[in-house]
Amino acid sequence: MSYLLHIDSSAMNTGSVSREVAETFLATWQKEHPEGRVVHRDLGAAPVPHLTADGIAARFADPAARTPAQAEAMELQEELLEELLGAGAYLFTVPMYNMSIPSTFKAWLDQIMIPGRTLGDPKTVPTAGRPAVVVASRGGAYGEGTPRAGWDHVVPFLTTALADALGMDVEFVVPELTMAHRNPAMAELRPAAEASRTRAHQEADLHAQKIAARLLV
């Protein structure tokens, strides 16, 4: 089978809940098929450049007429596209930073969301129907009934980008209150934070099992 593409976007290499939950997914994934291959790109450690005017122009230019800067920009896009399209499933870790996604993940999306290549009819684009799991951790709680309900611009945006535009079959794992153990003002929320983290690990395990079973049929 084709590989699992694992994209990390947490700026934290240690102490990251999104990375921790992703490790649970990966452990189950590899247990289900030990020979399976995982391709990992760590945007926190090695960010891709933001999309530039040269990168946009290169998409529409005759390859023979591209400037050196355009050719270089397109080379990166082709590398990222090849990596994206070669995968049969996806694992994204996208923690909430200031109510939205890390800029590193947005930069990656801008490089791979290309009209006529990955964008078009979401039912027929190359990634249509491919399973994806997003670990979307956040320091607080943003669900209905919380003081900051409606401040979550991670899940809605990624639903639009990954599911509606790229056609992926997306599941979200959302560990909340991850700052409770660091912020004394959130001490009373630590039990809820632990429950959320435990639930996230359980969900990651189940998603890995289901996707592996689906792709190994």
3-state secondary structure (DSSP) of residue 212 = helix
For the segment 161-180, the average pLDDT, to the nearest whole number, is 97
Q: What does the chain come to in residues?
A: 217
pLDDT tens digits along 66-117: 999 999 999 999 999 999 999 999 999 999 999 999 999 999 999 999 999 9
Mean pLDDT of 13-23: 94
Mean pLDDT, rounded, for 138-142: 94
Token representation of residue 162: 């990954």
pLDDT score of 217: 63
- What pLDDT is recorded for position 6? 98
Residue 1: pLDDT over 70:
no
Q: Report angle CA 29, 37, 205 to the nearest 5 degrees.
A: 10
Does pLDDT of 215 surpass 70? yes
Q: What is the pLDDT of residue 214?
A: 85
Domains observed in the chain: 3-48+79-216 (3.40.50.360)
pLDDT at 35 over 90: no
The helix (H) or strand (E) run that includes residue 75 is helix 68-85
Q: How many CB atoms lie within 10 A of CB 172?
A: 19
Can you give the pTM of this predicted structure? 0.95
122 and 167 Cβ atoms separated by less than 8 Å: yes
